[in-house]
């Protein structure tokens, strides 16, 4: 991995100049204001390599990338019982589809589509005394980073325009797979989506998925090794909505994208890398982010396959 | 990997005694006759480890496992152009579904569902002078094994009862994504499915997906390293129909199953392992095969994640 | 029609003794309490024939039968523009499905599935100053019947358990086809469903669809003749969810059912007939109600075909 | 009905000059050659009124209109048992969709979508000694018209390009709902579609659906009164693919269209009317044909509603 820094810098400069055919997500009004030229990348390895380029220290809305964090905490609480509530299969459909939910009687296909992430939030609301506060605490302790916060404006903006998510949550509740009050679950869900972090912070917080020995500052492990591997598996098969196969095919790493333009990817036993570029391709994943990561794993021959 | 032999033997004996709740596939009449107690496993590593247990040297119908071989040859011929004809996304639906095909205008979701494998056959019929003969030759040369053959009885049995596949092929042709005569394509498809091999032979023939330096006896490589990695990626996301996520989650290796009860799994840079047990779970994958592999990667901590 | 009274009495007695294999709807808690042996029928003809049998003067929850009344008022307000908001095609799916709504970008298939009826309510909320009060007033004036009321308990019961309808309304709003506040629209919708009437009252209030000369006590017509015919047409093709074809086939009259067990059927230029029996078949339509009407139109040879 | 001739002539002249935004069907090559300006209309009443305008005596390919004839003969043979093989519900999907067929395990939604008509052909192949010859004989005897024939060129043209129908037939056979050889069933199906008749001939042959006393020259009735009514009901709910609701709404008569541009409509107890104009709207129904019929039933106030 000694030459990774040089390779990453080269690819960064190369992709920076590529004509970006993506578009900034506009369905969450507050997100549409972002400067679309932001472009950052950061890598943190399990043996303490750490470097980044471009806008890697700017905060951005991590959106669905946060679904890994909520899943992690719910998995800690529930263990394997969690999979009675949500499946681990790729959906083959766009991220906010209700189609399969109807066929599967309210059990979402996986925890990374919106339906599944909402069920995960419901699980957490059942376990946490002060869901929003406690969840933030959990995130901060993973990588000893006090500097992780919700963006209330973004959360509010999602709430105002989030009719599809309100529909999803009520639809699942009609099948009995939401136990708490719909408003409470969604308020929590919208807040989790609004978390802001930098590329550097993201590549640090998800090291626990790359490093089987990972412990936080308090000396606690986050998940068991088997659990961490299983989350990686779900990221690989389901992390990019109906483009998950394409990401596995082109990049070959477990990963997760968000409509804020961030992508986190994990190489088990080696590193976590984060890219951020706000313009999205048609499937809702960062155009330059995917391009960067494809070039990166190709040049370093470091896909998991 | 020194202790793998002992671990595998233990798990083999353990799983052998498990009550098998699966059922032998009966929709291909000729396959229904198989002795359902067959159970074999074989591992071949890239550094020449080779051992097996149980019925690992009995021939069985590899069925859909052959789809890796046809995909490999089509990919050799067409390169990246192949993906204009077939996608690389998990389907989220059973193996013989026509649903998504209609929504996607005749472009199958991936080369491992029947629809995709039929399109792959069409590609090969366009390239090969004597498709059936030439394809067998290709298979034999990979691992220098003259002993690979079609089972004409099984091929005939599939043809007689294969109305769903005839439907799929004509449906795709109605969208223009089959170029050759439907009967020629299907005759080739049914023959490929009827290939018979042993666990040992299968774990040898697919070494080219595990070993980036693999060359056959003639000194030729089978695919480029990048191509081999990409086939592994497709196997991981799409190799087990609508149970692909579950296999990635529980086993964590690229793999491919067949309704004959065989499962092949690859650990890149390490080994290829094959299990065979004819009774299938509800999703059409070998019940004991999946159980064996889950225990194996758990005990050896050798999933790719 | 002179012999209709005798025929209806015979069929009434005949069907009364039939073993009822249906089940009372239980998804609205307040409705589950009804005495399932209630069975009433009433016919009112355009030339003032009027008679009934059994529980024809007991109030019951008319549920979806009220969708004819809301459609009528919305059609009065909007004319043909209404069909930009909701289609007139049978859905081929259960009454509360979200499937087609997604494919049709939020335009419901017809005004009688829940999705369409909710859009109709949204139209009315836009037009009416005091929706609940004004709508009741409209209903009362049609047949000069002051005795039509909401059942607040039922409305409340539907609201508490109506997650699927909340999902539908938010889902449609996400496509922009709900203009008012979701809570206002649904409160109105749940109230309309809770209206209580007797068989006799129902067969009188819908005479305006049978009688092209119909005028209410104030001397006003309810719809134009062409509009009335078109509502009859929608009732015939869409009035019984995914059993509409069956009702047309077996009964052969425009009609509308409700989960309270009521069915209204119209013979244009002749009569309106109402049956009520709370136990529903699998498709959600009154088992005895359908049986009664099939025998009735067969014996009187009075289907419209 | 005295003034119908004058009204029809007026509407004919009016619609003749309307700008036709439809398109001639081109998926059956042999049909694409037709002169798109053909426009004919003919009415025959049960009390022997008979008149037509324009190209009402030119033969054209009646295509799916023939599905009424095959259904009639199958219904004669099987009676109510027929509905075990095919349902009577509108499909809510385009005419050649495979979607619902999968959900309904091979039972087509109704006898007028292609899937259902193919099952009907299978029923007839089981009953008829020489299906093609015997069926033609049946058609000729209905209205004592020797001049009804298949167009072999069109039948051949459909066969060569009919991959979708081959797919449908094999798909249904995979569910066990086709009993005979697929090639035999489809050869018969393609021939039935190729029948050629004039507007005049069509309005005569379908009189048996309008006239409950209808007998042919041999003194035989075609169907029982109840059966004829039920076929009318299916025509109303299912006769125009996913535009059936629209036709009921705008025209208000049982009817059936074909991609050759013909539409037959029945007014029970009164008349049968046929229009022909080859250019089709987006749903596959004659653009001018629907327009003509809407104006006709509006002006004569003669819809069944």
- Note the pLDDT tens digit of each residue in D249-303: 999 999 999 999 999 999 999 999 999 999 999 999 999 999 999 999 999 998 9
Say whether both C244 and C259 belong to one domain: yes
Average pLDDT, chain A: 94
pLDDT for residue C299 is more than 80: yes
Looking at CA atoms only, how far is residue D123 from chain C in angstroms?
Answer: 21
Residue of D nearest to C237 (CA): D237
For the question of residue C287 being annotated catalytic, the response is no
Say whether both C166 and C79 belong to one domain: yes
What pLDDT was estimated at residue A31?
85
- Which residues, in sequence order, are bridge partners of residue C45? C271
Coil, strand or helix at D272: strand
What pLDDT was estimated at residue D78?
97
Q: What CATH number did the domain enclosing A104 receive?
A: 3.40.710.10
- Element at A292 (helix H, strand E): helix A287-300
Q: Which residues of A touch B68 (CB under 8 A)?
A: none
Residue B207 lies in a domain: yes
Residue D305 lies in a domain: no
Measure the CA–CA gap between A121 and A127, rounded to whole angstroms.
10
Are A138 and A76 spatial neighbours (Cβ–Cβ below 8 Å)? no
Measure the CA–CA gap between B288 and B18, rounded to whole angstroms.
8
Residue D30 lies in a domain: yes
The active-site residue, picked from D45, D64, D143, D286, is D64
Mean pLDDT, rounded, for D24-33? 84
Say whether both A71 and A38 belong to one domain: no
- Using 50, 70 and 90 to split pLDDT, how confident is the model at C97? low
Looking at CA atoms only, how far is residue D199 from chain B in angstroms?
Answer: 32
What pLDDT was estimated at residue D97?
66
- Using 50, 70 and 90 to split pLDDT, how confident is the model at D182? very high
Coil, strand or helix at A256: strand
- Using 50, 70 and 90 to split pLDDT, how confident is the model at A98? confident
Is pLDDT larger for residue B31 or for residue B228? B228
- Which residues, in sequence order, are bridge partners of residue A40? A54, A276
Residue B58 lies in a domain: yes
Residue of C nearest to A168 (CA): C167
What pLDDT was estimated at residue A49?
94
pLDDT for residue D111 is more than 60: yes
User: What phi, psi does B211 have (nearest 5°)?
Assistant: -110, 110
Are A257 and A227 spatial neighbours (Cβ–Cβ below 8 Å)? no
Mean pLDDT, rounded, for C182-193? 97
Counted domains in chain B: 2
Count H helices, E strands: chain D? 13, 9
pLDDT for residue A138 is more than 70: yes
Contact flag C170-A182 (C-beta cutoff 8 Å): no
Residue C165 lies in a domain: yes
Say whether both C267 and C236 belong to one domain: yes
Coil, strand or helix at D46: coil
Q: What angle do CA D254, D257, D260 make, to 5 degrees?
A: 160
Are C116 and C122 spatial neighbours (Cβ–Cβ below 8 Å)? no
Say whether both B83 and B173 belong to one domain: yes
Is pLDDT larger for residue A98 or for residue B141? B141
What pLDDT was estimated at residue C95?
54
Nearest to D119 by CA among D160, D80, D74, D156: D74
Would the pTM count as exceeding 0.90?
A: yes
Measure the CA–CA gap between A234 and D286, rounded to whole angstroms.
51
Q: What is the b/e burial string over C97-118, where b = at least 16 CB atoms within 10 angstroms of the residue's CB?
A: bbbbbbebebbbbbbbbbbbbb
Measure the CA–CA gap between B166 and C193, rounded to whole angstroms.
49
Least confident of A97-101, A236-240, B185-189: A97-101
Quote the percentage of chain A above a pLDDT of 90: 87
Mean pLDDT, rounded, for C101-118? 90
Secondary structure of chain C as H, E, C letters: CCCHHHHHHHHHHHHHCCCCCCEECCCCHHHHHCCCCCCEEEEEECCCCEEEEECCCCCEECHHHHHHHHHHHHHHHHHHHHHHCCCCCCCCCCCCCCHHHHHCCCCCCCCCCHHHHHHHHHHHHHHCCCHHHHHHHHHHHHCCCCCCECCHHHHHHHHHHCHHHHHHHHHHHHCCCCCCCHHHHHHHHHHHHCCEECHHHHHHHCHHHHCCCCCCCCCCCCCCHHHHHHHHHHHHHHCCHHHHHHHHHHCCCCEEECCCCEEEEEECCCEEEEEECCEECCCCCEHHHHHHHHHHHHHHCCCCC
* Strands C271-276 and C262-267, sheet pairing: antiparallel
What pLDDT was estimated at residue C232?
98
For the question of residue D65 being annotated catalytic, the response is no
Nearest to D101 by CA among D191, D170, D155: D170
Residue of A nearest to C97 (CA): A102
Q: Extract the runs of DSSP E, i.e. beta strands, from D192-304.
A: 196-197, 255-257, 262-267, 271-276, 279-280
Say whether both D140 and D31 belong to one domain: no
Nearest to B61 by CA among B203, B166, B193, B254: B193
What pLDDT was estimated at residue A104?
82
Residue B305 lies in a domain: no
For the question of residue D241 being annotated catalytic, the response is yes
> Which residues, at least 6 apart from B278, have a Cβ–Cβ distance to it below 8 Å?
B24, B25, B34, B35, B36, B38, B60, B260, B261, B286
Q: Which residues of D touch B166 (CB under 8 A)?
A: 166-167, 170, 182
Say whether both D34 and D111 belong to one domain: no
Measure the CA–CA gap between B196 and B258, rounded to whole angstroms.
12
Looking at CA atoms only, how far is residue D253 from chain C in angstroms?
Answer: 9
What pLDDT was estimated at residue D232?
98
Secondary structure of B53-111 as H, E, C letters: EECCCCCEECHHHHHHHHHHHHHHHHHHHHHHCCCCCCCCCCCCCCHHHHHCCCCCCCC
What pLDDT was estimated at residue A97?
66
What pLDDT was estimated at residue C174?
92
Say whether both A218 and A288 belong to one domain: yes
> Which residues, at least 6 apart from A6, have a Cβ–Cβ distance to it below 8 Å?
none
Q: What angle do CA B154, B155, B159 make, to 5 degrees?
A: 115
pLDDT for residue A27 is more than 80: no
Burial class for C78, CB neighbours closer than 10 Å (0-12, 13-18, 19+): middle
What pLDDT was estimated at residue D125?
98
What pLDDT was estimated at residue C102?
76
Residue D268 lies in a domain: yes
What pLDDT was estimated at residue D183?
96
> Which residues, at least 6 apart from C211, have a Cβ–Cβ distance to it below 8 Å?
C46, C269
pLDDT for residue C192 is more than 80: yes
Least confident of B71-85, B178-192, D98-112, D249-263: D98-112
The active-site residue, picked from D12, D150, D241, D287, is D241
Say whether both A72 and A188 belong to one domain: yes
Mean pLDDT, rounded, for B224-252? 95
Measure CB to CB from residue A305 to each of B87, B268, B301 and give the nearest one: B268
| D35-79: pLDDT as tens digits | 999 999 999 999 989 999 999 999 999 999 999 999 999 999 999
Residue A305 lies in a domain: no
The active-site residue, picked from C65, C259, C264, C275, is C259
Measure the CA–CA gap between C182 and C190, rounded to whole angstroms.
12
Contact flag B89-A246 (C-beta cutoff 8 Å): yes
Are B296 and B303 spatial neighbours (Cβ–Cβ below 8 Å)? no
Distance of CA C176 to the CA centre of its chain: 26
Distance of CA B36 to the CA centre of its chain: 20
What pLDDT was estimated at residue D33?
86
In a mutational test of the A interface, the residue from B248, B296, B302 whose CB has the highest number of chain A CBs within 10 Å is B248
| C45-54: pLDDT as tens digits | 999 899 999 9
Say whether both D130 and D180 belong to one domain: yes
pLDDT for residue B46 is more than 60: yes
Coil, strand or helix at D50: strand
| A140-199: pLDDT as tens digits | 999 999 999 999 999 999 988 899 999 999 999 999 999 999 999 999 999 999 999 999
What pLDDT was estimated at residue B36?
93
Q: Which of these three, A193, A213, A240, is where a domain ends?
A: A193
Q: Which of these three, A158, A176, A193, is where a domain ends?
A: A193
- ipTM above 0.85? yes
Measure CB to CB from residue D238 to each of C243, C245, C301 and give the nearest one: C245
What pLDDT was estimated at residue C30?
83
Q: Which residues of B touch A304 (CB under 8 A)?
A: 268, 304-305
What pLDDT was estimated at residue C96?
58
Q: Extract the runs of DSSP E, i.e. beta strands, from chain A.
A: 23-24, 40-45, 50-54, 60-61, 196-197, 255-257, 262-267, 271-276, 279-280
Q: Could you give the C-alpha distances from A4 to A198, A271, A297, B230, D282, in angstroms and in order?
A: 20, 11, 10, 22, 56
For the question of residue C194 being annotated catalytic, the response is no
Nearest to B158 by CA among B197, B194, B119: B194
What pLDDT was estimated at residue B102?
76
Domain that holds residue C28: 4-62+197-300
Q: Which residues of D touch B173 (CB under 8 A)?
A: 163
Residue linked to tokens 């390599």: A49
Measure CB to CB from residue B89 to each of A88, A233, A245 and give the nearest one: A245
Q: How far apart are the first and last CA of chain A?
A: 17
Measure CB to CB from residue B102 to each of D97, D169, D170 and give the nearest one: D97
| A261-275: pLDDT as tens digits | 999 999 999 999 999
What pLDDT was estimated at residue A96?
57
Q: Extract the runs of DSSP E, i.e. beta strands, from D162-270.
A: 196-197, 255-257, 262-267
Say whether both B112 and B139 belong to one domain: yes
C241 is in an annotated binding site: yes
Q: Which of these three, A193, A227, A245, is where a domain ends?
A: A193
Residues of D within an 8 Å Cβ radius of B:
97-99, 102, 163-164, 166-171, 173-174, 182
Q: How far apart are the first and last CA of chain C?
A: 17
- Which residues, in sequence order, are bridge partners of residue D25? none
- Element at A175 (helix H, strand E): none
Quote the percentage of chain C above a pLDDT of 70: 98
| C250-287: pLDDT as tens digits | 999 999 999 999 999 999 999 999 999 999 999 999 99
- Using 50, 70 and 90 to split pLDDT, how confident is the model at B208? very high
Output Rg (C-alpha) for chain D, integer angstroms: 18
Say whether both C217 and C262 belong to one domain: yes
* Strands A279-280 and B23-24, sheet pairing: unpaired
Least confident of A31-35, A95-99, B256-260: A95-99
What pLDDT was estimated at residue A28?
82
């Amino acid at each position: 991995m000694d030459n990774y820094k040089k390779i990453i810098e080269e690819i960064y400069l190369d992709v920076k100049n590529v004509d970006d055919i993506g578009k900034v997500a506009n369905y969450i009004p507050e997100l549409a204001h972002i400067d679309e030229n932001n472009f950052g990348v950061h890598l943190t390895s399990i043996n303490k390599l750490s470097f980044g380029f471009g806008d890697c220290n700017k905060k951005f809305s991590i959106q669905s990338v946060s679904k890994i964090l909520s899943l992690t905490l719910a998995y800690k609480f529930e263990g394997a019982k969690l999979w009675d509530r949500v499946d681990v299969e790729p959906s083959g459909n766009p991220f906010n589809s209700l189609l399969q939910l109807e066929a599967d009687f309210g059990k979402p296909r996986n925890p990374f589509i919106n339906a599944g992430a909402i069920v995960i939030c419901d699980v957490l609301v059942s376990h946490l005394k002060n869901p929003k506060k406690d969840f933030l605490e959990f995130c901060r302790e993973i990588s000893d980073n006090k500097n992780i916060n919700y963006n209330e404006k973004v959360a509010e903006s999602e709430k105002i325009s989030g009719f599809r998510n309100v529909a999803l949550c009520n639809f699942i509740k009609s099948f009995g797979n939401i136990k708490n009050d719909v408003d409470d679950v969604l308020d929590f869900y919208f807040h989790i989506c609004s978390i802001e972090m930098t590329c550097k912070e993201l590549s640090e917080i998800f090291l626990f998925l790359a490093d089987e020995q990972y412990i936080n500052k308090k000396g606690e492990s986050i998940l068991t090794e088997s659990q961490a591997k299983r989350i990686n598996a779900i990221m690989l098969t389901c992390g990019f909505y109906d483009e998950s196969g394409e990401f596995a095919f082109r990049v070959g790493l477990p990963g997760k994208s968000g409509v804020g333009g961030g992508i986190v990817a994990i190489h088990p036993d080696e590193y976590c890398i984060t890219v951020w570029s706000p313009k999205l391709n048609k499937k809702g994943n960062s155009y330059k982010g995917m391009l960067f990561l494809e070039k990166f794993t190709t040049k370093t021959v470091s896909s998991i396959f």
